[in-house]
Structure 1
Amino acid sequence: MNVPGSESLAYEVAAPAPVPTFPLDQWYVAALGWQLTDKPVGRTLLNKPVVLFRTPDGQVAALEDRCCHRALPLSNGTLDERGLRCGYHGLLFNGDGKCIEIPGQDKIPSKAKVPAYHVKERDQIVWIWFGSSEHPEPNCEPPAYEVHSSGKYIFDGDVYHYDAPYQLIHDNLMDLSHLGYVHLRTIGGNASIHMNAEMKVESDDRTVTVTRYMPGSVPPPTYVAAYPFKDRVDRWQEIEFHVSHLRIWTGAVDANTESLSNPDRGGFHMRGFHGVTPETETTSHYFWTIATNPQSDHEAIKAKVVEQTALTFEEDKVIIEAQYQNMCRFGTPPMIDIHVDVGANRARKIIEQLRHCAR
């Protein structure tokens, strides 16, 4: 029997916000500065179709890649002296996504606009902000990369598209022990020395650093082509993981001539920037640059180092895409870890923690 007023009250409990697919509240690499010239560039970044272009004053802008009139991708349009013009009916948009001209029509509806993203170019790297609902506006500056602006190095780079999830690229870059097996023609070297290199791994809640030393090594082909080594060399590999990019400093000095812990050591340097940006859950953009310090014939040696680096990354791409295809083929049977996986595993833990923080 129900007593009036005694009915139990039902309360609606809000479901927890879903965990985002990728870490948010981060700056991700959207392009290398020299890739944005006289044409708009369309890319999907973190599942979001984006068009990138330069405004008349040379600044970088990023808009949703969809015209608000009939939905043509704006990346199919053209740039003129005032902004980005849609390739279907000529609507003209400025860098804020506002329509500033409709051909043949004086009145521009207030709704004639396209969502804009926060984007910033720094040290010739174009960064785009993907924020959570709590931080739609950037709460920090994009990372600096002084290697591009210090004047100590010369560099170049490119972008690869991977048919594989972005964290498989992280795994590959965090573990350079594979060089002796995958990159015999370029930056490899003795596989046993790579696998047994002295290794130190340090981490905090956002970064992982892996340091590897290989004294008494035979210099690999890329090193020999770029620097006048006398004989054996002492090699180093310093890998610094951040959520949206990695910085890898590798190189060598003539054996027993300098301390590998000296931050100002000489010898042959290769400083790599690796912007790893998810396209979707299963595809990725890999923006890379390589900087070096030739002693002579600067342009010729830079060209050689860039060519050899591109060859190296093409070798990596074959391995990673084949790895992912096999993972899809076999499903999820358990995989074992070995000693070289420490850095990559810590990087994956950071990614997982940051995904949950941005709910």
Structure 2
Amino acid sequence: MSTSNAESLVYEAASPIASAPSFPLDQWYVAALGWELKEKPVGRTLLNKPVVLFRTADGQVAALENRCCHRALPLSNGTLEERGVRCGYHGLLFNGDGNCVEIPGQDKIPSKAKVPAYHVREQDQIVWVWFGSEAHPEPTCEPPAYDVHSSGKYLFGGDVYHYDAPYQLIHDNLLDLSHLGYVHLRTIGGNASIHMNAQMKIESDDTTVRVVRHMPNSVPPPTYTAAYPFKGNVDRWQEIEFHVSHLQIWTGAVDVNTDAMDDPERGGFHMRGFHGVTPETESSSHYFWTMATNPVSDPEATKIKVIEQTILTFDEDKEVIEAQYQNMCRFGTRPMVDIHVDVGANRARKIIEQIRHSTC
């Protein structure tokens, strides 16, 4: 199914379904980027669940409830040892399965001395955690692969943002790149009129939304010219693929009339973004991102330049989204008007509602 016409979605609260979860379950959600887990445990709240993440002695990732079963100190306040994470209050030591394996000064370990463990996997330097429903407490699939990180074709870097805003506002922003001409003038923006009138195709099914935007014969934005030796105007593309727990966005450009924008092997300048959007609570989110690029010269310097420009861009997005949410709270449930660029975001919201209610 594809369309270029606007589709409406009311943002006001829907009629509550008593047993509907706050977030879609039976999904792999991003919990961390692999390089975050080093010599200290990392504590995060994910889908309202306090979790501590750490590496075991063999390099595997573990995820436990972030609460010592003795006196409730967060285990993320503790330290890592060869056998697991040690509580920073009275020294109970827990292994990667959540079992207490040592109580200082006490030989007998009570059978109840353990904490819940979550299913966790590391794939392509992305750490995923499974939050299942009662029907599917065990993972029903492997976490998504992302070979942009492992193929060797790209150089990449990334980081984590914390948003004081609901996660679906981040989805909305990423699925509607028409805002680039207004929010990102210093980096990846460009002519606002070209962005608002870009050739756009939208496809969706029960779990994904795909938005493709083409901007032929346009002026390359500052980030592009800083990283690639374009000769003049460019044929520019934006391909966005939404999944419930993450988005993949491939943007880039080629010199005018040198490559077809629908050729999967096209050359030019590429930016491949991974965007893991994980709810913290109903009103806050974690945003795990990486950006990969294909330098044609001075690879490391070009990668650093692209990452620096990406950070500037995401700083701008964060400011806008948090201000938007503050104003939504201020004005309450007043309805909002949809325009043609909202189709992809509205379809994503409908998918999330359907999945939430299907896991009741």
TM-score with structure 2 setting the length:
0.95
Report SS of the residue matched to 1:324: helix
Tell me which stretches of 4 or more aligned residues in structure 1 moved more than 6 Å: none
Match of 1:229 in 2: 230
2 CA distance for matches of 1:302 and 1:342? 33
2 CA distance for matches of 1:291 and 1:88? 42
Matches within 5 A, 1:282-321: 282-321=283-322
Amino acid at match of 1:252: A
Question: Structure 1 unaligned runs (5+)?
Answer: 1-15
- Residue 332 of structure 1 and its aligned partner are, at CA, apart by 1.1
Q: Deviations over 1:186-232 (max 9, x none)?
A: 00000000000000000000000000000011010000000000000
Amino acid at match of 1:182: V
- Residue 81 of structure 1 and its aligned partner are, at CA, apart by 1.5
- Residue 17 of structure 1 and its aligned partner are, at CA, apart by 5.9
Report SS of the residue matched to 1:146: coil
Q: Deviations over 1:20-70 (max 9, x none)?
A: 000000000000000000000000000000000001110000000000000
2 CA distance for matches of 1:353 and 1:121? 28
Match of 1:13 in 2: none
Match of 1:106 in 2: 107
Match of 2:176 in 1: 175
2 CA distance for matches of 1:329 and 1:347? 25
2 CA distance for matches of 1:81 and 1:24? 33
Q: Deviations over 1:94-127 (max 9, x none)?
A: 0000000011111111110000000000000000
Percent identity between the aligned chains?
A: 83
Rg larger in structure: 1
1 CA distance for matches of 2:233 and 2:256? 6
Match of 1:139 in 2: 140
Match of 2:352 in 1: 351
Q: Deviations over 1:149-189 (max 9, x none)?
A: 00000100000000000000000000000000000000000
2 CA distance for matches of 1:70 and 1:97? 16
Match of 1:246 in 2: 247
Report SS of the residue matched to 2:236: strand
Match of 1:151 in 2: 152
- Residue 333 of structure 1 and its aligned partner are, at CA, apart by 1.0
Amino acid at match of 1:353: Q
Match of 1:25 in 2: 26
Match of 1:255 in 2: 256
With a CA cutoff of 8 Å and minimum separation of 6, indicate the structure with the bigger relative contact order.
2
1 CA distance for matches of 2:302 and 2:259? 23
1 CA distance for matches of 2:65 and 2:312? 34
2 CA distance for matches of 1:65 and 1:334? 39
2 CA distance for matches of 1:90 and 1:63? 16
2 CA distance for matches of 1:346 and 1:81? 47
Amino acid at match of 2:279: P
Match of 1:115 in 2: 116
2 CA distance for matches of 1:308 and 1:225? 9
Amino acid at match of 1:137: E
Provide closer, same or farther for how the CA distance between residues 352 and 51 of structure 1 changes in structure 2, counting only shifts above 3 A: same
Match of 1:336 in 2: 337
1 CA distance for matches of 2:19 and 2:82? 43
2 CA distance for matches of 1:128 and 1:276? 13
Match of 1:220 in 2: 221
Match of 2:49 in 1: 48
Amino acid at match of 1:95: G
2 CA distance for matches of 1:17 and 1:101? 42
2 CA distance for matches of 1:239 and 1:213? 12
Matches within 5 A, 1:61-76: 61-76=62-77
2 CA distance for matches of 1:136 and 1:348? 24
- Residue 293 of structure 1 and its aligned partner are, at CA, apart by 0.1
1 CA distance for matches of 2:335 and 2:111? 55
Match of 2:7 in 1: none
Count of paired positions: 344
Match of 1:278 in 2: 279
Q: Deviations over 1:227-272 (max 9, x none)?
A: 0000000000000000000000000000011100100000000000
1 CA distance for matches of 2:36 and 2:316? 23
2 CA distance for matches of 1:333 and 1:72? 42
Report SS of the residue matched to 2:62: strand
2 CA distance for matches of 1:352 and 1:303? 39
1 CA distance for matches of 2:232 and 2:194? 16
Whether 1:91 and 2:69 are equivalent positions in the alignment is no
Whether 1:202 and 2:203 are equivalent positions in the alignment is yes
- Residue 334 of structure 1 and its aligned partner are, at CA, apart by 1.2
Task: Name the Cα RMSD after superposition.
Answer: 0.6
- Residue 82 of structure 1 and its aligned partner are, at CA, apart by 1.2
